[in-house]
Structures are given as C-alpha cells and as structure tokens.
C-alpha cells in the first residue's frame, strides 16, 4: 500500500474507519476444556493458590515478578485483598478443571479501551501449571476474549529482558517481538530493561487457528502428551 501523504507533504497513518472505544473487560468467567479463568476472589482461591505456589520450593518463579515469593500467609492474603479490588490490573484465577482448584493467576492491565490496547501480565503459574495444556488454554481464553468478544486491536506482553523463559513463552503463544525499552523501570531494587511483544487483530485469525488445532483432544495421547507442537506463526 502506498504511503499516505497529508497536505503538508508529511507521511501519515491509515484511517481507522468506524472505530469506537471498546468496552473494558468485564469481571466474568471464561470457560474452557482444561482451564477456567475466573475473577480472583481471596475467599474462594486463597487457600488453593497458596498451596499451589508452595510447590515452588526455591521461589524461582517469582524472580521476575514485582512481588513474591510469599513466605508468610498474611503477606499473601494482603496481596490477594489488593488484587481482588484492583481495577487495573484486573486479576483472574486460573482453575485446573481436572482438580477444580486455582493453581495460578494472570491479569489484564494497562487497559486502554479508547484505542483498543490491552496487556496480559502479572502471570504467576505454579509448578502445577507450568508446561501444561491448562496454562496454554488459559492464555488462549484470555486473548480470545480480548479479540473476539471485546474487539481490541492490540494485545501486549511485556517482561524483564533477562527473563528467557518469559520471552520464549511469548513467542510460543504467538506474540511478535516489538523491541526493548532500556531502564524502563525499577523493581525489587533492580533495573529492568523491558522486552515488548504484541499480537495485532490482523494476526489473530492465524494465531487462533493454531491454538484451536493444538487444544483439540485428538492432539493429545492417552497420557496427555501433545502429538504436535503449538504453531501460532505462518511458515516462513
């Protein structure tokens, strides 16, 4: 497509025809086959989440998180109380449907309905969820809600540039690397260079098809192992 030029001879972006502000994500449950994503409630999910996070014996899952690990239950409860009432980030518990228990949480944040941009973050997956189809489906449910139900244009993922696991997870889930912001913030007394990733609405149909193929029951053998890997990008 040829670059648009305005009356001053300057290049400008394409019109976004018919655009109207999108709704904020409502606090409603998202239901899947292996995972449910439900509004985080301290009274409903606190016990299960604290027990699930205790299976991370080393505390390594919290290294790149702004909070945690939580050695004392009182500290965890204080975090949950704040999370439950926070409008942004908007927290959800990730329920393993095979156990019926909350085993992690995630949130929508930096919610910008006026321009259709939203981020997924504060993702805390206990060892019970790591490298499982439960966790993958939870991420799919959240992004599907954003694009298919709410009509957002851009879905973002940001992480510490030193977190190799988080960057690999973003790419596996279909996010495209956008770049790195040096000295973007400070957390736990440390500098953070932030890696930015995104999925755009024009890319969503291909990403969605990849998730649907991967999550199909026939893609898993009797022991629950995948037959084919998740493919969310066109073949190059």
pLDDT category of residue 233 using cuts at 50, 70 and 90 = confident
- Mean pLDDT in residue range 15-41: 97
- Mean pLDDT in residue range 217-235: 90
- Mean pLDDT in residue range 40-58: 97
pLDDT recorded at residue 235: 59
Q: What is the pLDDT of residues 150-204, one digit of tens each?
A: 999 999 999 999 999 999 999 999 999 999 999 999 999 999 999 999 999 999 9
CA–CA distance, 175 with 172 (Å, rounded to integer)? 7
pLDDT recorded at residue 191: 98
Residue 55, CA distances (Å) to 40, 48, 60, 68, 102 in order: 20, 11, 11, 14, 13
Q: What is the pLDDT of residues 105-114, one digit of tens each?
A: 999 999 999 9
pLDDT category of residue 3 using cuts at 50, 70 and 90 = confident
**Is a pLDDT exceeding 60 seen at residue 234?**
yes
Structure tokens at 108: 């929508």
Whether the ω angle into residue 69 lies within 30 degrees of 0, i.e. cis, is yes
Neighbours of 211 (CB within 10 A): 21
- Mean pLDDT in residue range 57-80: 96
What is the edge-to-edge ordering of all strands in the sheet holding 35-39?
30-31, 35-39, 90-96, 101-112, 117-125, 154-160, 190-200, 176-187
CA–CA distance, 42 with 232 (Å, rounded to integer)? 34
pLDDT category of residue 142 using cuts at 50, 70 and 90 = very high
pLDDT recorded at residue 16: 94
**Is a pLDDT exceeding 80 seen at residue 1?**
no
């Amino acid at each position: 497509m040829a670059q648009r030029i305005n009356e001053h001879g300057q290049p400008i972006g394409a019109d976004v025809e018919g655009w109207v502000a999108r709704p904020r994500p409502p606090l409603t449950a998202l239901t899947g086959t292996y995972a449910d994503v439900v509004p985080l409630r301290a009274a409903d999910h606190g016990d299960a989440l604290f027990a699930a996070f205790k299976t991370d014996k080393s505390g390594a899952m919290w290294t790149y998180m702004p909070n945690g690990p939580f050695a004392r239950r009182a500290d965890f409860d204080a975090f949950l109380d704040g999370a439950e009432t926070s409008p942004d980030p908007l927290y959800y518990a990730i329920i393993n449907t095979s156990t019926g228990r909350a085993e992690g949480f995630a949130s929508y944040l930096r919610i910008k309905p006026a321009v259709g941009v939203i981020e997924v973050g504060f993702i805390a997956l206990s060892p019970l969820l790591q490298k499982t189809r439960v966790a993958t489906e939870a991420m799919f449910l959240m992004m599907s809600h954003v694009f298919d139900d709410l009509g957002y244009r851009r879905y973002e993922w940001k992480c510490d540039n030193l977190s190799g696991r988080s960057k690999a997870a973003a790419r596996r889930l279909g996010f495209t690397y956008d770049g790195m912001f040096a000295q973007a913030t400070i957390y736990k007394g440390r500098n953070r260079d932030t890696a930015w990733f995104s999925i755009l609405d024009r890319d969503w149909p291909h990403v969605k098809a990849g998730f649907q193929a991967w999550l199909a029951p026939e893609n898993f053998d009797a022991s629950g192992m995948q037959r084919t890997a998740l493919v969310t990008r066109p073949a190059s």
